[in-house]
Structure 1
């Protein structure tokens, strides 16, 4: 059935071109993983492991599966239709009122969210550096902002990809090796990963773990990055490699999160210690790692913060320019204007002493409410055979995507009820 889908009038059919590899087999998926492994994810995993052990490890597994499902659809959209999600949404929702509402929603939620995360992640990165190097955090923030600006202004996907891949590699080595040194009980870890339980007082933490992994702007980001990496590769091969990249890279992100949780479990939960920050965990690891403990977590949090602070403005730029019908070319001035605006607001948050935690909480709440809407939009768009042809969703993709969407809708409803004070407090 899918092989006889009508031609897409939205863009002319392109003849098969000789394959000319312009990107690597891995890249876009690793950038998505780098985006969601930020200081918020690391801190939440530390607090969870120290407070609840492996009881909530299943939420990481669910988050990774949900992220893979949504990002695979985004990658297939980018390669199959050769447009980003924002542009695809504009073509799918042709009613002017729907277009305006959609644009306002994406610009407000993702623009504000990207700026808030850029500010919070930059501050978190600076604080990590200041724990081992006695430099004023404002100076560190300014240097980080300049470094991000310098990377993005190049307009080069390959430059951004290589920097983020190196930092994900550092994160993997640091936290996985530290988890091996701590030697957490694997059987208990596996039980927590595949037997869902929610201890008393842990529901909001469970939602936080999911919310720090399944990020709305990453769906926009991925649909464009796959075009940068596989734009001149034959479609079937590009989609096959994109799926491998998506599954392996996002799974690696989940392994890093679980490794952080395992380190907190082995060094704090088993000893009855609690944690609120990475510094608490570093102190708990000093008997094992000695003077290297602060450096391990300073470097780890720096990499996590820098990658997220870089991916936030980039994802916001792809989302906003796409829904507004502007150029999504990284070298175009509309694209640069968006990420510069997001980065400047993030810098203001970081440099003026505005409490980043409260801003990030607001951003997480906005993204949590936006996620089910984006997931529904993505599902509708992925069923547009006129746009996607044989790359449109099949039954299996729709069923799995529908389940993920229903879960995130349920989480959003719970979040709204909590914000409205309709839920009983934990006893």
Structure 2
């Protein structure tokens, strides 16, 4: 049973405690016009969330899975994406209906010791996310321009300044940049698939779950990595905050419409992310697995092999360009998630410049240390491990999300319908079971 420490009504949040205050309610919703015009006002936050589902960590797990097992793990990508669509839909619901983000709701409802543990775990997840994104971006800079990895990691700190500038211009500018880069990645992989010439019958068969995934420890490890790279904990916190950037009305009808449109936005964006994740795995299966190179996991190795195995130098260039776009996008949204987590759990309000530097340093320091120690070797193992860490942290974000989604006292008539709650709790149980199986496999060697 949730405690009732915050008796304030959800419709009247404290103005000094708004989630992402500089964005909050900044996008006007047109009162006149047709359905499409009103929907267009809600298009954007879903793309900020979708980038977390196609970051460099996804690349590492998809490359490893596709090269080693062909199209088999496409079913994991599909199931993970469907779970993500459901969980992100619940995020839009609680963010719009309560006027609070997930971190703020945890601070309102849970005892302080529990709240501090959840905050620490969320920070660990963001560090793991940024580790993958910073290293992936640095790899892309190295492949395209020959910049050393350690310098590339340091250069990504500039994204904090980019966010400040774009937020000053307005959240729509930030959303436009992110969406533009996503469609650039989409175009790169559409061309890659045409060159790779996969076996489309085998691709379709790969979306059917294979029992061998649960019995083969290597497949299971990569499958959990794919799940961790797809359903990302920081996205749950971020989405509940960014949906509040729309100036929907306070009444129940306005909130119902906002929930419906925001859900359409996130579902469309995550469908695009599913295509991109599938394209990476399909390319790895069609080029590397079919060519007998079943141990390709390093992004650098994939880049070097694409040209001779596909037969055109442009394949490797498009691969690196798409990686750079994904890495830049993902570091932007991870920094925003760091702000939501820090302000939401701790109630800590800092000047924008200082806040950006703090949230960036929390992640960039361990990334620099790891990159300095490992150099160009072992990056694939680090990327996959970071995604497994995310999966292990997922229950500590998903369980609170499900508790609040079913909290009729807070959400009232906007409480999630029964079918969403059933599927949401089933997804939560699946995540926990996979984690326990992973732990048992590690303990027993």
TM-score past 0.5 threshold: yes
Alignment counterpart, residue 42 of structure 2, candidates 12, 22, 25: 25
1:145 maps to which residue?
157
Higher mean displacement: 381-390 or 366-375 = 366-375
The residue correspondences of 1:113-192 to structure 2 (distance < 5 A) are: 113-152=125-164, 154-155=166-167, 156-192=170-206
CA RMSD of aligned residues (A): 2.7
Q: Tell me by how many angstroms 1:282 deviates.
A: 3.0
Alpha-carbon contact 2:232-2:390 (below 8 Å) kept: yes
2:113 maps to which residue?
100
Q: Tell me by how many angstroms 1:317 deviates.
A: 1.8
1:381 maps to which residue?
404
Q: Deviations over 1:28-78 (max 9, x none)?
A: 111111012111101211111111011111100110011111110011111
Supply the distance in 2 between the matched residues of 1:301 and 1:382 (Cα, whole angstroms). Answer: 35
Cα–Cα, structure 1 residues 31 and 18, in superposed 2: closer, same or farther, change >3 Å?
closer
Question: Is 1:263 equivalent to 2:288 in the alignment?
Answer: no
Cα–Cα, structure 1 residues 256 and 24, in superposed 2: closer, same or farther, change >3 Å?
same
Q: Tell me by how many angstroms 1:180 deviates.
A: 2.5
Alpha-carbon contact 2:184-2:322 (below 8 Å) kept: yes
Tell me the TM-score normalised to structure 1 length.
0.86
Q: Tell me by how many angstroms 1:342 deviates.
A: 2.9
Supply the distance in 2 between the matched residues of 1:224 and 1:280 (Cα, whole angstroms). Answer: 38
1:311 maps to which residue?
333
1:4 maps to which residue?
none
Supply the distance in 1 between the matched residues of 2:407 and 2:60 (Cα, whole angstroms). Answer: 40
Supply the distance in 2 between the matched residues of 1:386 and 1:151 (Cα, whole angstroms). Answer: 36
Supply the distance in 1 between the matched residues of 2:373 and 2:47 (Cα, whole angstroms). Answer: 31
1:414 maps to which residue?
437
Supply the distance in 1 between the matched residues of 2:354 and 2:410 (Cα, whole angstroms). Answer: 29
Query: Which SS does the other structure have where 1:272 is aligned?
Result: coil
Query: Which SS does the other structure have where 1:166 is aligned?
Result: helix
Supply the distance in 1 between the matched residues of 2:152 and 2:92 (Cα, whole angstroms). Answer: 35
2:302 maps to which residue?
281
Cα–Cα, structure 1 residues 410 and 354, in superposed 2: closer, same or farther, change >3 Å?
same
Supply the distance in 2 between the matched residues of 1:12 and 1:271 (Cα, whole angstroms). Answer: 58
Query: Which SS does the other structure have where 1:268 is aligned?
Result: helix
1:252 maps to which residue?
272
Supply the distance in 2 between the matched residues of 1:363 and 1:284 (Cα, whole angstroms). Answer: 25
Q: Tell me by how many angstroms 1:192 deviates.
A: 1.3
Cα–Cα, structure 1 residues 37 and 218, in superposed 2: closer, same or farther, change >3 Å?
same
Alpha-carbon contact 1:43-1:278 (below 8 Å) kept: yes
Supply the distance in 2 between the matched residues of 1:76 and 1:384 (Cα, whole angstroms). Answer: 12
Query: Which SS does the other structure have where 2:145 is aligned?
Result: coil
1:393 maps to which residue?
416
Cα–Cα, structure 1 residues 394 and 132, in superposed 2: closer, same or farther, change >3 Å?
closer
Supply the distance in 2 between the matched residues of 1:39 and 1:88 (Cα, whole angstroms). Answer: 30
Alignment counterpart, residue 320 of structure 2, candidates 298, 302, 325: 298
Q: Tell me by how many angstroms 1:128 deviates.
A: 1.3
Cα–Cα, structure 1 residues 300 and 63, in superposed 2: closer, same or farther, change >3 Å?
same
1:202 maps to which residue?
219
Alignment length, in residue pairs? 403
Q: Tell me by how many angstroms 1:144 deviates.
A: 2.3
Q: Tell me by how many angstroms 1:122 deviates.
A: 1.6
Unaligned ranges ≥5, structure 2: 1-6, 14-27, 32-37
Cα–Cα, structure 1 residues 339 and 105, in superposed 2: closer, same or farther, change >3 Å?
farther
Q: Deviations over 1:271-294 (max 9, x none)?
A: 111312233333333243522122
Question: Is 1:45 equivalent to 2:62 in the alignment?
Answer: yes
